[in-house]
Amino acid sequence: MASKYIALPNGVSEKIFDTAVKEFRGVLGEANVLVSAEQLAPYTKTMMPVSETNHTPSAAIMATTVEQIQKIVAICNKYKVPIWTISTGKNLGYGSAAPAERGQVVLDLHRMNRILEVDSDLCYALVEPGVTYRQLYDYFQEHQLPLWLSLPAPSAIAGPTGNTLDRGVGYTPYGEHFMNACGMEVVLANGEVLRTGMGSLPKSNTWQAFKWGYGPYLDGIFTQSNYGIVTKFGFWLQPAPPVYKPFMIQYQDEDDVVEIVEIMRPMRLNGVIPNSGVIAHALYEAGVKAKRSDYVSGPGSISDEAVRKLVRDHHMGIWNVTAALYGTQEQVDVNWKIVTEAFGKSGKATFITEQEAGDDPQFGYRAVLMRGGMDMREFNLYNWRGGGGSLWFAPVSQARGSETLKQMRLAKGILAKYGLDYTGEFIVGMRDMHHIIDMLYDRTDPAMTKAAYQCFDELISTFSAEGYGSYRTNTAFMDKVAHTYGPVQRHVHKMLKKALDPNGILAPGKSGIR
């Protein structure tokens, strides 16, 4: 007899699962427990080069309160049913809303979405997991609060809790999001509710003001992990500056990344450039202005010659540096002078400010993101090649010119072997760079999909052999990346898992932890 479920959790019989589903319904109501194929379709779509059957959930359940979540973990412990928690569920290119393993129940917290507190004196917010950046942005507008968000490019549809829990990045001075996280509430697998840091102290009003609390700092173990379910999340906001000056600097040779990084690092370290700006390769920005088919016919990766034609046709750089200045007019003027003098020395740089850019969409979307606004034009990435396949390869690099060039060449060579383009950028930290490559492939083409899988696998192997680790990865490659960090870290992760979640009900497989 055909099962009434499209998938079942590993090792759980249909009969046991029936009971668990019945109990979920008892807690959440009929309408908040989804099991049909039609209802689960949006939890199954991914952009990864693996079969969707590997990541098909057995059910999706929607909770809105801490008490409901406590009851759910009790049911999961009783029947050994694993749950995969998502907040806003837009982890696109990293596995989207689908679970790590077939048959896991998705615990979808999008409807748990109250903005609990916004303090415009201390500039912080406390939110529930389902709150989107859009909701916060609108809240600030509506209440005329001079506060800015830092957000990832999917802005309107993603949210601070999920993004920060996966240690995501944005483009403002607050762009390293976990650095600006302050205080969490976490439901543990045994149903206990932990408030981290100062939140554990009854009556404390510094939960969102001081990160560390007393004793071992715990917040970190709830990021990229499966040790708890975060139900409240505090984070810091940037006071809106009086003057905002976004700018772009273009260079026309791949080797120029060395000069760019060497000039930029000291200015990031001393705060002249305060935000996590971006050094984007032309191919990362190309989709905003052109289609790949205008420059390439036939198989294989795009040639350097075609890229040079592309940048000439569309007023782009081979490297496009975008960053911004924030402050009073005097501060911005002084810093702009420092920036232009530093980048101006070699004579290779072209400076573009809002005046020169006009309505240029490449400048435009970057300028909105660097002030925490709503803009999704970066999704033009997917118009470059088409076909909807995307995997983020995200190795960390030192903020050292020679290193960035080495990583770029290494990645480009491996991608070319598989006929794929180097669609890369560096997000500029103080001492590090997030080297972000959107591995674009046509998911409707089985041969290219297979090549994409192999290419990603080789990227991880080759980079880790050189000592370059990924900062984050998609749900199909979590074990592989965990392996690159060596057995001792894996063992410690496992011991923590055993202690905090002995039945292994929370997101088994996340970051390779079971």
Partner 1 sequence: MKATWMACVGFMSALSVMASHTGVLGADQQEVPQTGFTWKDGAEVYTKICALCHETSVGPILRGRELDPLYIRLIVRNGSRAMPAFRASEIDDHSLEQLSEYVSKSAGAK
Ligand X SMILES: Cc1cc2nc3c(=O)[nH]c(=O)nc-3n(C[C@H](O)[C@H](O)[C@H](O)COP(=O)(O)OP(=O)(O)OC[C@H]3O[C@@H](n4cnc5c(N)ncnc54)[C@H](O)[C@@H]3O)c2cc1C
Residues designated catalytic: 94, 471-472
One of 178, 244, 295, 379 touching ligand X (CB under 6 A): 379
Q: Which stretch binds ligand X (CB under 6 A): 135-143, 272-280, 355-363, 375-383?
A: 375-383
Tokens of 36: 């049909």
Nearer to partner 1, 88 or 172 (CB): 88
Which amino acid does the sequence have at 267? M
Residue 99 binds ligand X (CB under 6 A): no
Nearer to ligand X, 49 or 129 (CB): 129
Nearer to ligand X, 174 or 343 (CB): 174
One of 60, 169, 405, 455 touching ligand X (CB under 6 A): 169
User: Which residues contact partner 1 (rule: CB under 8 A)?
Assistant: 34, 38-39, 41-43, 45, 47, 60, 62, 64-67, 88-90, 92, 96-97, 108, 110-121, 126, 128, 130-131, 134-135, 138, 143, 145-146, 155-157, 193, 202-204, 361, 374-377, 379-380, 382-383, 386-388, 390, 443-444
Residue 380 partner contact from partner 1, ligand X, none using kind-dependent CB cut-offs of 5 to 8 Å:
partner 1
Closest contact distance (angstroms) between CB of 87 and partner 1 is: 10
One of 82, 159, 241, 274 touching ligand X (CB under 6 A): 159
Q: Which residues of 230-256 are buried (b: 16+ CB within 10 A; e: fewer)?
A: bbbbbbbbbebbeebbbbbbbbbebeb
Rounded to whole angstroms, how far apart are CA atoms 191 and 370? Answer: 39
Cα 80 from chain centroid (whole Å): 30
List phi, psi (to 5°) of 387. Answer: 100, -10
- Bridge partners of residue 115, in order along the sequence: 127
Nearer to ligand X, 186 or 263 (CB): 186
Provide DSSP, 343-378. HHTTS--EEEEHHHHTT-HHHHHHHHHTTT----GG
- Closest CA relative to residue 173, chosen from 273, 265, 242, 260: 273
Residue 500 binds ligand X (CB under 6 A): no
Residue 374 contacts by C-beta under 8 Å, 6 or more apart in sequence?
Answer: 133, 134, 137, 155, 156, 368
Closest contact distance (angstroms) between CB of 189 and partner 1 is: 18
Residue 435 partner contact from partner 1, ligand X, none using kind-dependent CB cut-offs of 5 to 8 Å:
none
Residue 152 partner contact from ligand X, partner 1, none using kind-dependent CB cut-offs of 5 to 8 Å:
ligand X
Closest contact distance (angstroms) between CB of 501 and ligand X is: 12
Residues in the chain: 514
Residue 87 partner contact from partner 1, ligand X, none using kind-dependent CB cut-offs of 5 to 8 Å:
ligand X
Residue 153 binds ligand X (CB under 6 A): yes
List phi, psi (to 5°) of 218. Answer: -100, -20
Nearer to partner 1, 123 or 415 (CB): 123
Closest contact distance (angstroms) between CB of 237 and partner 1 is: 11
CA distances from 366 to 290, 373, 374, 376 (A): 17, 10, 11, 10
Nearer to ligand X, 263 or 497 (CB): 497
Closest contact distance (angstroms) between CB of 195 and partner 1 is: 8
One of 166, 185, 256, 360 touching ligand X (CB under 6 A): 166
Tokens of 47: 């952009």
Rounded to whole angstroms, how far apart are CA atoms 185 and 343? Answer: 45
Q: Which stretch binds ligand X (CB under 6 A): 92-100, 120-128, 200-208, 257-265?
A: 92-100
Tokens of 212: 């560390």
Rounded to whole angstroms, how far apart are CA atoms 513 and 507? Answer: 9
> In this structure, what is the dihedral angle of CA atoms 465, 471, 473, 478, given to the nearest 10 degrees?
60
Q: Are strands 83-86 and 105-108 parallel, antiparallel or unpaired?
A: parallel
List phi, psi (to 5°) of 173. Answer: -60, -15
Q: Which residue is nearest to ligand X (CB)?
A: 162
Closest contact distance (angstroms) between CB of 482 and ligand X is: 14
Residue 91 binds ligand X (CB under 6 A): yes
Nearer to ligand X, 91 or 464 (CB): 91
Residue 229 partner contact from ligand X, partner 1, none using kind-dependent CB cut-offs of 5 to 8 Å:
ligand X
Nearer to partner 1, 43 or 393 (CB): 43
Q: Which stretch binds ligand X (CB under 6 A): 85-93, 192-200, 254-262, 320-328?
A: 85-93
Q: Beta-strand (E) ranges in 81-239? A: 83-86, 105-108, 115-119, 124-127, 147-148, 181-187, 193-195, 229-236, 238-239
- Closest CA relative to residue 278, chosen from 112, 64, 433: 433
- Closest CA relative to residue 147, chosen from 240, 244, 274, 245: 240
Nearer to partner 1, 100 or 107 (CB): 107
Closest contact distance (angstroms) between CB of 312 and ligand X is: 26
Closest contact distance (angstroms) between CB of 23 and partner 1 is: 20
Residue 60 partner contact from ligand X, partner 1, none using kind-dependent CB cut-offs of 5 to 8 Å:
partner 1
Residue 513 binds ligand X (CB under 6 A): no
Of the chain, the end-to-end C-alpha distance in Å amounts to 32
* Site residues, ligand X (CB under 6 A): 85-94, 109, 129, 152-154, 158-159, 161-163, 165-166, 168-169, 229-230, 378-379, 381, 510
